[in-house]
């Protein structure tokens, strides 16, 4: 929690009377480092655990519903969730709720790192009310794993079906003894040519493992699985859609009080993690198949649903405007249809930027008390694809007008870092306060999450720039006048 006090002290220095306990979202990256010999105290047991793995999208979404029971003699409030070190860095959007009381909001979660030798790391879940001995509680843990799907075979022909493989443990990893558990897998289709079959005697009901039901597979149930037990299984299924992965998204939101404008610019670095082309790209074959529009592992287009009232969109990349885009304003949303310059096949990359303007009044509200403004913008907009998009890194920057102070923010998106910096642009003298927020491993499901920023902005700050520019112009004219009236001739000028 190093950055938070620093951040709040910055705020305190800026505003003078900031309250640190205001609804600041807390960065996830706390990482108290523990020795590698650490094992979580065995104070809980999992009475019943059901894991749902949804493979509909280009990334697996896991939901673990687990009834936990305190088997210790004291009240406990720290529940550990283990992950492999390599996996932990790819887990995104982990949220824990009380299954029975979901409205209460997400529990506080932090990453607990072990030192370099350890192969396991933990998410530490803080229960809001400590669980008394012998008491039970139902947790609903949901998260997604990025870059978890591998195409097998790794190279396919241009219009071939794509199969991808997901490897996981049939026993849900847990730091505690699990009495009963099962895993349900939901596939996008029933075309699942390969999957690991486990011996029936592992199964609690001595049935064939897994159980198949259409496009749903069930591993388990298993009983009395000890802590830390794993059983690797993998499934391979058809998924002829692009595995769109944004290695980086930079998103700038610029607030202009004078212009009444909210300018958004997003810069994407996309890559398709799907199967690479066995041979090279053939334009003939592509042109022949495009009339039928078959499913393809290539990313052909992106649709950005913008808020109604968005205008002046642009779509460019490193070498200029991309002419293959369409903007369809509508009642519910303004759809920006983008087509990359070329179809993005597996292993190919495409980077671009899009931007648009919007009327500020729909996003900004002035509080009746004093000069405080509240800005509510979506944390993530971005393309809407049926198969989803995963973002490794998201850098969001909210550039507030020059002279905005006392900047606070709040969002339900898990962040790793947040700070206020100064951004100089368009004849600024002091520079604008810019709020920089970093998040990792985000999915497009977070599109609906909002970011709320509050800041103070007095009316005098708005007049600083016109005055400075006026004075500057006068200074220039005065300097020219003074220089012009200097006589630079060497001899006496002969005025005839």
Near another protein by CB under 8 A: residue from 256, 351, 410, 412: 351
Helix (H) or strand (E) holding 483: helix 464-484
Q: How far apart are CA 378 and CA 391, in angstroms?
A: 16
Near another protein by CB under 8 A: residue from 20, 224, 281, 328: 281
Is residue 168 a contact partner of residue 87, using CB atoms and an 8 Å limit?
A: no
Interface with another protein, residue 107, by CB under 8 A:
no
By C-alpha distance, which of 187, 227, 181, 185 is closest to 203?
A: 181
Binding residues for another protein, how many (CB under 8 A)? 28
Interface with another protein, residue 280, by CB under 8 A:
yes
Closest separation between CB of residue 105 and another protein, Å?
40
**Residue 1 or 467: which CB sits closer to another protein?**
467
Kindly tell me the burial class for residue 99, based on how many C-beta atoms sit within 10 Å of its own C-beta (0-12, 13-18, 19 or more): middle
Q: How far apart are CA 86 and CA 121, in angstroms?
A: 9
Q: How far apart are CA 24 and CA 222, in angstroms?
A: 42
Closest separation between CB of residue 160 and another protein, Å?
18
Q: Strand pairing partners for 125?
A: 79, 109
Q: Which residues between 137 and 196 bind another protein (CB under 8 A)? A: none
Interface with another protein, residue 320, by CB under 8 A:
yes
**Residue 17 or 291: which CB sits closer to another protein?**
291
Interface with another protein, residue 289, by CB under 8 A:
no
Is residue 271 a contact partner of residue 245, using CB atoms and an 8 Å limit?
A: yes
Q: How far apart are CA 360 and CA 375, in angstroms?
A: 9
Please name the residue that has the structure tokens 């910096």.
Answer: 421
**Residue 73 or 485: which CB sits closer to another protein?**
485
**Residue 128 or 466: which CB sits closer to another protein?**
466
Query: Of 119-127, 146-154, 346-354, 442-450, which part binds another protein (CB under 8 A)?
Result: 346-354
**Residue 13 or 490: which CB sits closer to another protein?**
490
Interface with another protein, residue 337, by CB under 8 A:
no
Helices (H), 59-136: 85-88
Near another protein by CB under 8 A: residue from 322, 335, 364, 461: 322
Query: Of 68-76, 120-128, 281-289, 356-364, which part binds another protein (CB under 8 A)?
Result: 281-289
Which distant-in-sequence residues (6+ apart) come within 8 Å of 462 by Cβ? 257, 258, 401, 403
**Residue 387 or 428: which CB sits closer to another protein?**
428
Cβ neighbours of 124 (radius 10 Å): 17
**Residue 86 or 323: which CB sits closer to another protein?**
323
Near another protein by CB under 8 A: residue from 103, 318, 448, 487: 318
- Binding marks (x or -) toward another protein, 406..425, rule CB under 8 A? ------------------xx
CA 53 to chain centre: 20
Please name the residue that has the structure tokens 């800026």.
Answer: 14
Near another protein by CB under 8 A: residue from 317, 337, 371, 417: 317
Dihedral sign, Cα of residue 480, residue 481, residue 483, residue 488: positive
Q: How far apart are CA 30 and CA 121, in angstroms?
A: 13
**Residue 283 or 332: which CB sits closer to another protein?**
283
Report the interface residues with another protein, using CB under 8 A: 279-284, 287, 317-324, 341-342, 347-351, 424-428, 484
């Amino acid at each position: 929690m190093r950055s938070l006090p620093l951040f709040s002290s910055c705020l305190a220095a800026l505003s003078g009377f900031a309250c640190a306990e205001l609804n600041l979202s807390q960065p996830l990256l706390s990482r108290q480092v523990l020795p590698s010999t650490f094992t979580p105290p065995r104070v809980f047991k999992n009475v019943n655990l059901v894991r749902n793995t949804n493979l509909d999208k280009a990334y697996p979404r896991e939901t673990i519903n687990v009834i936990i029971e305190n088997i210790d003699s004291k009240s406990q409030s720290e529940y550990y969730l283990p992950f492999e070190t390599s996996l932990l860095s790819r887990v995104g959007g982990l949220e824990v709720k009380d299954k029975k009381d979901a409205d209460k909001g997400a529990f506080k979660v932090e990453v607990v790192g072990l030192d370099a030798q350890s192969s396991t790391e933990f998410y530490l879940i803080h229960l809001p009310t400590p669980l008394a001995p012998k008491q039970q509680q139902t947790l609903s843990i949901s998260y997604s794993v990025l870059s978890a799907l591998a195409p097998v075979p790794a190279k396919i022909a241009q219009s071939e079906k794509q199969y991808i493989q997901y490897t996981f443990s049939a026993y849900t990893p847990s730091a505690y003894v699990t009495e009963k558990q099962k895993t349900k897998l939901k596939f996008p289709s029933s075309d699942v040519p390969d999957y690991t079959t486990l011996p029936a005697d592992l199964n609690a009901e001595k049935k064939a493992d897994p159980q198949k039901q259409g496009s749903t597979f069930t591993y388990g149930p298993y009983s009395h699985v000890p802590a830390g037990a794993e059983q690797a299984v993998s499934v391979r299924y058809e998924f002829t859609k692009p595995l769109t992965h944004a290695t980086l998204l930079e998103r700038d939101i610029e607030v202009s009080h004078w212009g009444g404008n909210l300018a958004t610019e997003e810069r994407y670095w996309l890559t398709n993690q799907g199967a690479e082309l066995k041979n090279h790209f053939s334009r003939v074959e592509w042109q022949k198949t495009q009339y039928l529009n078959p499913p393809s592992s290539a990313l052909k287009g992106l649709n950005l649903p913008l808020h109604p009232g968005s205008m002046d969109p642009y779509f460019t990349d490193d070498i200029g405007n991309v002419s293959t885009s369409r903007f369809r304003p509508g009642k519910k949303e303004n759809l920006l249809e983008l087509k990359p310059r070329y179809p993005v096949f597996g292993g190919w990359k495409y980077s671009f930027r899009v931007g648009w303007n919007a009327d500020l009044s729909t996003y900004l509200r002035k509080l009746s008390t004093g000069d405080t403004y509240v800005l509510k913008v979506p944390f993530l907009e971005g393309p809407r694809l049926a198969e989803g998009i995963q973002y490794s890194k998201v850098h969001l920057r909210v550039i507030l007008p020059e002279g905005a102070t006392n900047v606070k923010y709040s969002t339900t998106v898990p962040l790793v870092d947040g700070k206020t910096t100064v951004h100089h642009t368009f004849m600024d003298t002091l520079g604008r306060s810019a709020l920089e927020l970093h998040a990792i491993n985000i999915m497009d499901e977070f599109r609906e999450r909002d970011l709320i920023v509050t800041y103070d902005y007095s009316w005098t700050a708005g007049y600083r720039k016109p005055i400075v520019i006026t004075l500057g112009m006068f200074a220039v004219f005065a300097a020219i006048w003074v220089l012009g009236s200097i006589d630079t001739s060497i001899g006496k000028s002969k005025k005839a």
